[in-house]
Amino acid sequence: MSQFAQVLLSGLSTGSIYALAAIGFTLIWQAAQTVNFAQGEFVMLPAFFVLVAINFLGMPLWLALLFGLLMAVLVLGLLFKKLIVEPMLPKTGLPLIIATMALSILLKESVKEFYGAEAQPFPDILPQQTMNLAGAVISVQDILNLVISITAVVALTLFLNRTITGRSMQATAQNPAVATILGIDTKRMVLYTFLINAGLAALASFLISPLYLAKFSNGETLGVVAFIAAIVGGFNQIRGAIAGGLLIGVLDNLTATYITAEYRAALPLVLLILIILWRPQGLLGTDEGRQV
Q: Interface with other proteins by CB under 8 A: which residues? A: 161-168, 170-171, 174-175, 177-186, 286
Q: Tell me if residue 2 falls in helix, strand or coil.
A: helix
Query: Residues near 103 by Cβ (< 8 Å), separated by ≥ 6?
Result: 38, 41, 80, 84
Is the Cβ of residue 151 or residue 174 nearer to other proteins in the bound state? 174
Provide the minimum distance between the beta carbon of 179 and other proteins in the complex, in angstroms, as a whole number.
Answer: 8
Angle at 39 between CA 144 and CA 67, to 5 degrees: 60
Q: What is the dihedral of CA 141, 21, 195, 25, to 10 degrees?
A: -160
Is the Cβ of residue 7 or residue 241 nearer to other proteins in the bound state? 241
Is the Cβ of residue 114 or residue 188 nearer to other proteins in the bound state? 188
Provide the minimum distance between the beta carbon of 195 and other proteins in the complex, in angstroms, as a whole number.
Answer: 12
Is the Cβ of residue 80 or residue 192 nearer to other proteins in the bound state? 192
152 — phi, psi (to 5°)?
-65, -40
| DSSP codes joined into one string, 161-189 | HHSHHHHHHHHHHH-HHHHHHTT--HHHH
Is the Cβ of residue 103 or residue 189 nearer to other proteins in the bound state? 189
Contact between 205 and 45 (Cβ < 8 Å): yes
End-to-end CA distance of the chain: 53
Provide the minimum distance between the beta carbon of 287 and other proteins in the complex, in angstroms, as a whole number.
Answer: 11
Provide the minimum distance between the beta carbon of 23 and other proteins in the complex, in angstroms, as a whole number.
Answer: 17
Provide the minimum distance between the beta carbon of 176 and other proteins in the complex, in angstroms, as a whole number.
Answer: 10
